């Protein structure tokens, strides 16, 4: 099979010549995945020179159509050859494959420019009265039970266990949004997750930040170049828009996450972490060393503010930006550009995609350091913090 692609922005026209069967379905699917990763959400496949379409090829096309529909895009098989049309008619799939998927237009909302160093985008108001609050959960000898709600974010150290006693020695980096909780346990190399939607089984918390409240703004951003937009610059733009500290969540295509994760369970640490003690830090934490999980999906959440904003728990992230952020990497999943509830996206990424890792984001500006966490395109939600931290 020969595949020729013409892409312009979010639209792509694909010409195929040959057979879409077991021998070529994987190749075709991989090429379509590249287009979606590059930002295409409207794809037309010119099938005039497609000689044969097998059942496996039909399934590949239906999957592509469903994938684009899920993110608000469209798909159409154009000018199919007679053999291909006969197969489609026999399977009664014309309404799915030969007609572009159309969607009812969303209610118009006022969009404003949302730009920063390295990215462009537009923002929309979701709820002009929305505010977030953050509560700091301090380390304790007795783990605390935690059940997340639909508008709750948690980042810190947690463990999944049936009882508090079973959680001891298992605490690791955690990110939870809307009841979808993921943990990087220190007693296993594999991340784990749990759906707390039912609220029947809690996670056990050693320490962290509990952020509650609705999001005021939504934005979709695109990096100006392939290096990606620095997460710190997106934080800076969110802080500037509210003229104060914010709660933030980002979901999008990773251009590399940089951070650290607990090497040993924090409930066994006998003294606070001292950044000046290099050996002690390395015994407790492992670092990414270089930007990790490039090309995967990233889910990032936490709080950010300017230096001296009065919110406890913030640490320097970049010049003029302090933050406390956790990042989760998972298998790539295309996301809609339209304003979509954070809970919907977070639950899809945490509960439906294989999780690669979870880290506390740390920028490393040294010449030989890991650098900054970046995204190529992303959905961003944020809200002002009301009254600082409790």
On the question of pLDDT at 103 being above 80, the answer is: no
Nearby residues of 70 by Cβ (< 8 Å), 6 or more positions away: 334, 336
Query: Concatenated DSSP letters for 279-339?
Result: HHHHHHEEE-SS-B-TTSEEEEEEEEE-TTS--TT-EEEETTEEEEEEEEEES-----SS-
Measured distance CA(344)–CA(58) in Å, rounded: 29
Q: Are 211 and 133 in contact (CB under 8 A)?
A: yes
- pLDDT tens for residues 259-270? 999 999 999 998
Per-residue HEC secondary structure of 296-313 comes to: CEEEEEEEEECCCCCCCC
* Residue 93: both structure tokens together: 């799939």
For 77-88, write each residue's pLDDT tens digit.
999 999 999 999
Rounded Cα–Cα distance for residues 320 and 385 (Å): 18
Q: Return the minimum-mean-pLDDT range out of 60-64, 266-270, 358-362.
A: 266-270
pLDDT classification of 306: cutoffs 50, 70, 90: very high
Residue 318 pLDDT class (50, 70, 90 cuts)? very high
- Residue 151 pLDDT grade (very low, low, confident, very high; cuts 50, 70, 90): confident
Strand partners, 156: 174, 208
Distance CA 374, CA 388 (A): 27
Give mean pLDDT, residues 190-199. Answer: 81
Contacts of 341 (CB under 8 A, 6+ apart): none
Cα separation, 221 vs 55, whole angstroms: 38
Q: Which domains does the chain have, with CATH numbers?
A: 2-97 (3.30.750.24), 111-135+207-389 (3.30.1330.80)
Q: 23-27, 161-165, 274-278: lowest mean pLDDT where?
A: 274-278
* 27-54: pLDDT as tens digits: 999 999 999 999 999 999 999 999 999 9
3-state secondary structure of 262: strand
Q: Can you give the pLDDT at residue 250?
A: 98
Distance CA 286, CA 275 (A): 13
Mean of pLDDT values over 118-126: 96
């Amino acid at each position: 099979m020969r595949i020729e692609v013409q892409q312009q922005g979010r639209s792509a026209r694909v010409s195929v010549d040959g057979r879409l069967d077991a021998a070529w379905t994987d190749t075709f699917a991989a090429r379509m995945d590249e287009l979606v990763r590059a930002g295409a959400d409207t794809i037309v496949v010119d099938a005039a020179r497609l000689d044969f379409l097998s059942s496996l090829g039909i399934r590949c096309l239906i999957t592509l159509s469903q994938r684009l529909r899920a993110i608000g895009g469209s798909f159409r098989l154009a000018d199919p050859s007679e053999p291909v049309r006969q197969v489609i008619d026999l399977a009664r799939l014309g309404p799915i494959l030969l007609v572009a998927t159309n969607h009812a237009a969303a209610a118009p909302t006022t969009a404003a420019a949302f730009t920063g160093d390295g990215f462009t985008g537009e923002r929309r108001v979701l709820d002009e009265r929305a505010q977030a609050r953050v509560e700091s959960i301090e380390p304790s000898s007795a783990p605390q039970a935690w059940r997340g709600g639909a508008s709750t974010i948690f980042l810190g150290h947690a463990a999944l266990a049936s009882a508090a006693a079973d959680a001891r020695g298992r605490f690791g980096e955690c990110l939870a949004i809307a009841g979808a909780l993921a943990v990087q346990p220190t007693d296993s190399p594999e991340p784990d997750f749990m759906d707390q939607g039912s609220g029947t089984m809690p996670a056990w918390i050693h320490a962290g930040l509990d952020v509650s409240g609705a999001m005021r703004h939504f934005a979709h951003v695109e990096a100006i170049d392939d290096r990606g937009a620095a997460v710190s610059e997106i934080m800076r733009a969110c802080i500037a828009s509210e003229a104060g500290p914010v709660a933030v969540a980002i979901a999008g295509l990773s251009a590399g996450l940089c951070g650290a994760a607990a090497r040993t369970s924090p409930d066994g640490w006998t003294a606070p972490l001292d950044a000046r003690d290099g050996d002690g830090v390395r015994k407790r934490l492992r670092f990414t060393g270089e930007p990790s999980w490039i090309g995967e999906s990233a889910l990032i959440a936490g709080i950010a503010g300017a230096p001296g904003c009065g919110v406890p728990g913030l640490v320097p992230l970049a010049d003029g930006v302090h933050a406390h952020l956790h990042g989760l990497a998972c298998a790539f999943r295309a996301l809609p550009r339209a304003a979509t509830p954070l809970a919907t996206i977070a639950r899809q990424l945490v509960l439906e995609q294989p999780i690669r890792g979870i880290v506390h984001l740390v920028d490393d500006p040294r010449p030989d350091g890991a650098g900054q966490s970046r995204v190529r395109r992303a959905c961003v939600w944020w809200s002002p913090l009301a009254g600082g931290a409790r």
